[in-house]
Structures are given as structure tokens and as C-alpha cells.
Amino acid sequence: MKTKLEEIKRASLEAIANSADAAELEALRIKYLGKKGELTAVLKQMGSLSPEERPIMGQLANEVRAAVEAAIEETSAKLAEVALEKQLLAETVDVTIPGKEVKVGHKHPMYIALDEIKDIFIGMGFTVLDGPEVEFAELNFDRLNAEEGHPSRDWSDTFYFDEDSRVMLRSQTSPMQVRAMDSMELPIRIVAPGRVYRKDEVDATHSPMFHQVEGMVIDKGVTMADLKGTLNTVVEQLYGAGTQTRFRPHHFPFTEPSCEMDVQCHKCGGVGCPTCKGEGWIELLGAGMIHPRVLEMAGIDPNVYSGWAFGLGLERTAMRRFKIADLRLIFENDVRFLEQF
Ligand code: PHE
């Protein structure tokens, strides 16, 4: 029995020392120390020994068990260490590899121009308003003195949401005049930028969606001279001192008198070229003195108060500001184009 125990000790320690991984080690533990293991089998034979031999063999068996357990523990720790080392090596991060470039977006030239416009007006004491693109026809038309039958209300020009033409995509930012009159205390000085929609085909100067900036002042004693002075100041701040403007008579239902303002073409300096369609001038906005009927409908007494308003085409303003020849470039969002500003 002594030889048997010593043989078990020798063989098991050798196998344990050579085991390659945790699974193999566990198999060896079962083989030697398990319920049906080799050492257990020897211990079961203890009963057949003489009373003198029994304690000696018992002690020897315990020693063998302790030695095998210690060896398993030691090897297990060693294997765990090796495994960890291997894992760490596999997960190494090479901090010298160049990082992925994070692309930062670019501000759109039209919004650069809009921010400049806002800054100029804020500097003159105007408040910037935001309003809905889905608008009531009442505010887009009726309250602006464009009654039933006015050509701009036609289904061929306007995106309506319902059969009775009550709700629409606003065709101009002018309903913001009405919203300001209805909600603000007098005197009023506002600008209201935003998207507007018309049933137009896309070409170099048209798009079914474009942007306007509405402006309005209502106070006592406001005149057309204030309108011209304000707009000329804005144009000079935007495009540089000495930029030429031209006011032409026009008609809008909600202003009287009405006008359109042009600035001299940036491409040809007024001689005439494809960008200005040979005119030498580019139309930037419509404007005028607020019609007394419009003031009245808002409960403002036109005998006490007067006001002016304008609606500026933002794309055109940005095109003039950055010398862009084609409107489509503004909407295509080609990064190679946008990055230039
Ligand atoms: N709303 C007009 C347009 O879209 C422009 C305008 C605004 C004219 C304010 C006069 C006063 O053409």
C-alpha cells in the first residue's frame, strides 16, 4: 500500500505540473482526489490493514492528499497568471496609431448671412421672432388685406392642407406682421426669419421652398424715409459702405405705397450679366408703408400710428453677400461648396 501511495503521489504531481490549462487540471483533480479517484480507492482498503499499520498508512495517505491539493492550487494560480498575461497581450492598445479624424460641420452661407442680418437689426433695437410654417390662410391673406379671389390665394400657387383653403404652408413671412400686432405692445420693431413655400419649379432663381426675413416697425410718426434709411443702413453693413440700392414702385395688398428694393449686381457692378439677367440690379425685397386697413384689422388706429414692413429674400441676400451665382448651390449642400465660406 505504501508503494501504491508513493506511486500515486509521484504520478499525480508530475501530471499536475505538466497540465496545460484549467480544464486539464480539473480532470486530474477528479482522477486522483474525486469520489471514484485513485487515492480514494486506496483509502477504502484501509480496513484490511492491521491496527498497527493503519495510523501509519493513514498519515501517509493524508500527506499524499495534502501534497496533491497543494500542487493543484499552485499550478492553478500559475495557469491563471499565464492566461491573464495572454489576454493582456491580446488586448494591447497601440496608442501610437493615428486617431480617426472627427469631421466638424460647417455653417451654411445662408445662415451666416442670416446671423449677420439678425445682428444688424438687434443692434437697432429689433426683436427677432419665430413663427409657424403651417399657417392659417386668414393670417397669410385675409388679415393682410388679400381677400377672397386675390390671385396669390390660387391653388396653383399655394400649398393648402384642406379643401376649404383654411390651412396652408405660408407663402410669405408677412403673417408674422399680424402675429406681432396681435401679441405685442406698441411700439413694435421686429424681424421674423423663416421658410416659405410656393408652387414654383426649381431653376437658377426659384425653389418651392425658400427663406424670407420679415421686418416691421410700428410707432407714431413713422415714414417711408425711416424705411429707406433703415434698409440702406442694413445693406451698407451687409455689403460694404457705398453699396448702391434702388427703390421701385410696386404693389402689395398690405402696404401702401409699396416698393421693391434692388441692390447693384455683385457680378457685373451694374453693367448687366447673366446673374442679374442683364438688369445690372438684383431684387432683394418688397416693402412699403403698412396699409391702414391692416392696422385697423389689428385694432391699431391708423390716425395715431403708422408703420413700415419689408420681406427680404434670404437666399438672394446670401448670394449677393457671398457672390454665389446659382440658387441651387444653396440647397444642394455639397460640402465642397459649403466649405468655402
Ligand atoms: N410678403 C411680400 C412677398 O413675399 C414682401 C413684402 C413684405 C412686401 C412686407 C411688403 C411688405 O413678396
Q: How far is the CA of 311 from the centre of ligand 1 (A)?
A: 4
Per-residue pLDDT 10s for the chain (341 aa) are 788 888 888 888 888 888 888 888 888 888 888 888 888 888 788 888 888 888 888 888 888 888 888 888 888 888 889 889 888 888 888 889 898 888 888 889 999 999 999 999 999 999 999 999 999 999 999 999 998 888 889 999 999 999 999 999 999 999 999 999 999 999 999 999 999 999 999 887 789 999 999 999 999 999 999 999 999 999 999 988 989 999 999 999 999 999 999 999 877 888 988 878 889 998 999 999 999 999 999 999 999 999 999 999 999 899 888 988 888 999 998 888 998 98
Mutate to test the pocket of ligand 1, among 252, 294, 310 (most ligand atoms within 8 A of CB): 252
**What is the CA(247)–ligand 1 centre distance, in A?**
14
Q: What is the pLDDT of residues 133-154, one digit of tens each?
A: 999 999 999 999 998 888 889 9
Separation of CA 271 and ligand 1 centre (Å) = 27
Answer for the pair 280, 270: CB distance below 8 angstroms, yes or no: yes
The answer to whether the CB of 287 is under 6 A from ligand 1 is: yes
What is the Å distance from ligand 1's center to 307 Cα? Answer: 14
The Cα 141–Cα 209 span in angstroms is 18
Predicted structure pTM score: 0.71
310 pocket-lining for ligand 1 (C-beta < 6 Å): yes
Q: pLDDT at position 38, please?
A: 83
User: With contact defined as beta carbons under 8 Å apart, do 293 and 145 qualify?
Assistant: yes
Which pLDDT belongs to residue 177?
A: 98
- The reply to whether ligand 1 has any atom less than 6 angstroms from the CB of 171 is no
- Model confidence pLDDT, tens digit, residues 293-331: 999 999 999 999 999 999 999 998 998 889 888 889 999
Half-sphere exposure (Cβ direction) of 209: Cα atoms closer than 13 Å:
8
φ/ψ of residue 185, rounded to 5:
-80, 145
The Å distance, Cα 36 to ligand 1 centre, comes to: 98
- Written as nine digits, the cell of 43 is 483509502
Residue with grid cell 413655400, as numbered in its chain = 197
- Compute CA 273 distance to the chain's CA centroid, rounded to the nearest angstrom: 38
> Which of ligand 1's atoms lies nearest the C-alpha of 212?
4
d(CA 32, CA 113): 85
* All cell numbers assigned to 268: 457685373
Mean pLDDT of the chain: 91
Looking at residue 18, what is its pLDDT? 86
Residue 188 pLDDT: 98
Q: Decide: 255 in ligand 1 pocket, CB within 6 A.
A: yes
175 lines ligand 1 (CB under 6 A): no
